[in-house]
Amino acid sequence: MCSESASELHRLIKLDSLVKAKLILKNYKKYDKQKIVNELVKDVTALFLAAVEGRVTFVHYLIEECNADLEKPGIFVVAQDKGRHKVTPLWAAAVSNHLEVVKILLKAGAHVNALSDTGSTPVRSACYMTNIDVIKTLIEYGADIHKANKNGGTCLINAVQSAELCQILVDQGVALDKADMSGNVALHYAVKEGRIDSVRLLLRYGADVHIKNENGDDVIRTAALRCQIEIVELIHDEAHTSDTEYAEALDLLGAQLMDENHDLSTAMTIWGKAIDYRIEKSLQFVKPSEPIPAYNYASGVENRQDLDNLLESPDKLYMQALLLRQEILGPRHRDTLFGLMYRGAVYADNRNFEQCVRIWLHGLKLRKECCNSFHECAFALQALTKLFWEMTDKIDQKNLREVIDIAIDQMKLSSSKENGDIIIKLLTHQLILVRECDLPEILKPISNFKRNSGLNLVHCVVNSNYSNVADEFFSILPNCSLLRSLVYSGADCDVLYDGRTPLQVVVNDLLYAKNDDMKRSILIDAAKILLDEGDAHFDLHDSVTNTNTGDQILKLVPGQFCPLKYVGLKCLAARVVKRFLHNLSAEDLPQVLIHYVSMH
């Protein structure tokens, strides 16, 4: 809890009223005055606030007369994204571009390289804001322009928006090719942002154009993927990239212009240039290693006539773009996979569901084979499952089966609780769409499969909360038809997940469905299937609610279930034993009965 004096001091700093602030503090002893100015009010000290606000006279007063702590950090809120960073007053002043405040703090002995909570120095963060005069001052006081933050971001990376600032850093001997954790160097960022002056400067000083980031992209490829036509030419001319690199950059540039910018005219011009260049340099043309059905068996182009033939149909143009990306970038590249998802979505928006399924299914197979990313697979499975539910009676069962087979593999392999559990829930909604005659073959091997979290298909199909997966609605659960198929496939109807059997999940849902007749009817039917066809245990203790499941059913739906049908002598005996167990030693029971009694 901050003191009234500290709060008032902060208010006066914002008003830039130093005279009144001095009146408040003048009667305090030196120690108490120091304590007040170093007190945190809304996560900042008085000096920190004065530095952010650019109150030069306040900063001088707080340091000279109040002995304010130069290094006590506060929370700096970035205006653009509202991000919060724990930093020193100097860092805050540098980023806020308050040069005079920076000078006062440095002269007073503030640590010039004090790090933020993300490991960023004042000079690095000032580079991001292009505060050139502040940066020069920090360098004069020994700022370390070589130190990266915890993500590997450097001063030069942060400076690419300004060729002037890049020049200052280069003159100070900054490393041109130091990469961040994503493998990108300053030249990558300059290219991505379209900063041609900075690109030209970095090339002039010998920046390496062959460094590849984590996606495998060098800078000419990066320029092509960002549709930076002028920069592609600049890099080729200045850095003398290989003939193949340049030709591939032109092909990719055309693909991106076609697919992302919808600029047919420029894309055709660039592709034409690529064809002429490959012919001139005797380079091979981009061809698929084998026909790809998802791309309508596109075979690539080898001459201007082939290129003109693409104009017969927009589909041919888009398939050419997809083909070029996959063959040049590779099947695991993010732009290859993103391009597939985007193009499929366009087809779906135009109600061409069949083509969308072909493209998305192809992308899903690439993810499964190449990426080993369960998150990416879960994303693709979610998109396909949603699409199948929109198609309903138009579903190609062969395509659905392929998706289900991939989902089953991913469900079994994923060690991530979140992604694996999402996949088994999606699989549940996929299985509902399968023809009934095909279900036994699919279900028998997986009816009793449990994720490492314990989640299983029976729990998925009876839990109404799983009608939505990842905040998206798919279909109404429970689904009694699929539940019955699981039971006939040998699923264990007493399997536990989160301490509950499937029947206990259904009973719990009944508690909250008193005013929903349709939901109650479905839940009652699910309970009957579990009990009558799945031999689920009726007379169980629910450890979550500390109630007896059978008693709850009879109370919630009187007249629907006959307890004598489900409760045998063993259950009644177990209840009696459990009731008087406190009078018995556990050793008095045979080991085989201990678990059975504890269930009741």
Note whether 59 and 124 are same-domain residues: yes
pLDDT in tens, 545-556: 888 888 888 898
Q: Does any domain span residue 407? A: yes
- Look up the CATH number of the domain holding residue 6: 1.25.40.20
Among the ranges given (367-381, 484-498, 541-555, 569-583), the one the predictor scored with the smallest mean pLDDT: 569-583
pLDDT above 70: percentage of residues in the chain: 94
pLDDT in tens, 2-14: 688 999 999 999 9
Q: Which pLDDT score, from 0 to 100, does residue 586 have? A: 60
Nearest partner of 466 among 493, 430, 499, judged by Cα: 430
Is the per-residue pLDDT at 156 higher than 80? yes
Note whether 5 and 120 are same-domain residues: yes
Which helix (H) or strand (E) is 381 found in, with range?
helix 374-391
Note whether 579 and 540 are same-domain residues: no
Q: Which of 426, 447, 478 is the last residue of a domain?
A: 478
Q: Which of 478, 512, 541 is the last residue of a domain?
A: 478
Token pair listed for 54: 């650019």
Q: Does any domain span residue 312? A: no
Is the per-residue pLDDT at 145 higher than 70? yes
Give the chain's domain count.
Answer: 4
Mean pLDDT of 574-579: 68
Note whether 467 and 541 are same-domain residues: no
Note whether 384 and 401 are same-domain residues: yes
Note whether 354 and 402 are same-domain residues: yes
Note whether 429 and 548 are same-domain residues: no
Torsion, CA 302, CA 308, CA 311, CA 312, rounded to 10: -90
Domain that holds residue 523: 493-567
Mean pLDDT of 19-47: 92
Whether 309 contacts 316, CB under 8 Å: yes
- What's the length of the chain? 600
Cα-based distances in Å from 165 to 161, 174, 178, 232, 254? 8, 12, 17, 23, 33
* Whole-angstrom distance, CA of residue 541 vs CA of residue 550: 9
Is the per-residue pLDDT at 26 higher than 60? yes
Mean pLDDT of 350-372: 88
Which pLDDT band holds residue 80 (cuts at 50, 70, 90)? confident
Among the ranges given (216-230, 348-362, 462-476, 586-600), the one the predictor scored with the smallest mean pLDDT: 586-600
Coil/strand/helix, residue 541: strand
Q: Which of 115, 144, 173 is the last residue of a domain?
A: 144
Q: Which pLDDT score, from 0 to 100, does residue 27 have? A: 85
Note whether 41 and 106 are same-domain residues: yes
Q: Does any domain span residue 159? A: no
Average pLDDT of every residue of the chain: 92
Whether 393 contacts 352, CB under 8 Å: no
pLDDT in tens, 430-473: 999 998 888 889 999 999 999 988 999 999 999 999 999 999 99
Which pLDDT band holds residue 597 (cuts at 50, 70, 90)? low
Q: What is the reported pTM?
A: 0.85
Q: Does any domain span residue 339? A: yes
Q: Does any domain span residue 100? A: yes
Q: Does any domain span residue 240? A: no
Q: Does any domain span residue 592? A: yes
Q: Does any domain span residue 304? A: no
Note whether 392 and 497 are same-domain residues: no
Note whether 463 and 501 are same-domain residues: no
Nearest partner of 264 among 301, 214, 308, judged by Cα: 308
Note whether 374 and 469 are same-domain residues: yes
Note whether 423 and 437 are same-domain residues: yes
Which pLDDT band holds residue 1 (cuts at 50, 70, 90)? very low
